[in-house]
Amino acid sequence: MTDAPMTHVPTGHGPGDPAETTITLPAVPAGVDGGHAGPDGQLLYPQDAHYQGYTEEPRLAGLETRDVSAWFGARKVLERVSLAMPAGEVTALIGPSGCGKSTYLRILNRMHEMVRGAALSGEVLLDGDDVYRPGRRPAEVRRRIGMVFQRPNPFPAMSIKDNVASGLKLAGIKVGKDEREHLVETSLRQAGLWDEVATRLEAPGGSLSGGQQQRLCIARSLAVSPDILLMDEPCSALDPTSTRRVEETIAELRGQLTIVIVTHNMQQAQRVSQSCAFFLATHDTPGRIVEHGPTEQVFHHPRDQRTSDYVNGRFG
């Protein structure tokens, strides 16, 4: 599927703002970026046959936004959001409904542009490189920055094994049968699901419980070796036991990749994250970050009274 172009506003102005300047991001041929340097300095790409035999030391990637604003049509929903999400850590995004957290999360891996009329300004830097720069392929960005949604979305009639491997197919990564089997097992182990499904890999993904389906979706995202994993309220539709298991999975993944999670559960944010950002919007102002920093500080020693009121349940 061809990604729809999105209006990008490099000057910081958006629809309805003075001195509005917009450009349309062009379509880019396959193979522009996403490569890794091989032992001889040659760039290797996931779609290259010789890439599969090459392994490199895992290198954690950080994510940062600078002055990101966003619109849906003429409605501004985010205002100049700047945030650094440390490599190898879990960053929690908290705040009341409607303050732009999920929109911000979708901006990070270029899903925002899939909405008709969407626009944005500012920079999203993956290891210092803007994911919205001209020449950057959206599909490659979404491979490196994976997403787990609020409700589990496995392919219900597809087997557990094929659900995991479908991530490879969607990303255009071709591997041999043995490597495929290895990636399926490794991804399921990373998602904390292997011991529960190892003897029934051919069973439909839809036969799993809700919590297991969510971990299956995590495994599918992990199969393509992303640098970043975005999670949009991944436990909101789960029971307490399944929530605990997903949180354990997040803890186990910490240090292996960078995780950004949107949650309305204040206890969950404290349990799983090392840093936290509090978003807030009003009826006449777009969402923005009120406060961010180490999770311990945001929850126990906030600098802003609004942060204290929110984390202590006085509104929201």
* Half-sphere exposure at residue 225, Cβ-oriented, CA atoms within 13 angstroms: 15
Distance linking the first and last C-alpha atoms of the chain: 39
33 within a domain of the structure (yes/no) = no
Would you say residue 212 lies in a domain? yes
Asked if residue 112 is part of any domain, the answer here is yes
Domain that holds residue 264: 7-24+58-311
Tell me the β-bridge partners of 68.
81
CA 237, 261, 148, 253 dihedral sign is negative
How many other CB atoms are found less than 10 A from the CB of residue 29? 7
The pLDDT assigned to 52 comes to 42
Specify if 154 maps to a domain: yes
- Residue carrying structure tokens 């309305």: 264
163, part of any domain: yes
What integer pLDDT is reported at residue 8 of this predicted model? 53
State how many domains the chain has: 1
Token representation of residue 140: 């490659």
Whether 211 maps to a domain, the answer reads yes
CA distances from 76 to 111, 197, 283 (A): 17, 45, 11
User: HEC profile for 94-126?
Assistant: ECCCCCCHHHHHHHHCCCHHHCCCEEEEEEEEE
> Residue 181's CB: how many other CB atoms inside 10 A?
14
**For tokens 């890794």, what's the residue?**
36
d(CA 77, CA 91): 21
CA distance 250 to 260: 10
**Residue 231, SS3 per DSSP:** strand
Are the C-beta atoms of 258 and 229 separated by less than 8 Å?
yes
Among candidates 309, 20, 45, which has minimal Cα distance to 173?
45
Q: pTM value?
A: 0.81
pLDDT at 7: 52
Per-residue pLDDT of the chain (316 residues; tens, 9 = 90+): 444 445 555 434 455 443 333 323 333 333 334 444 443 333 344 434 333 443 445 579 999 999 999 999 999 999 999 999 999 999 999 999 999 999 999 999 999 989 989 999 999 999 999 999 998 889 889 999 999 999 998 999 999 999 999 988 877 788 888 899 999 999 999 999 999 999 999 999 999 999 999 999 999 999 999 999 999 999 998 999 999 999 999 999 999 999 999 999 999 999 999 999 999 999 889 999 999 999 999 999 999 999 999 999 998 7
Question: In this structure, what token pair is assigned to residue 272?
Answer: 């799983």
Is 182 domain-assigned? yes
In a domain, 191, yes or no: yes
Beta carbons within 8 Å of 89's beta carbon, 6+ residues apart: 254, 258, 259, 273, 274, 275
CATH number at residue 236: 3.40.50.300
Residue pointed to by tokens 């619109």:
71
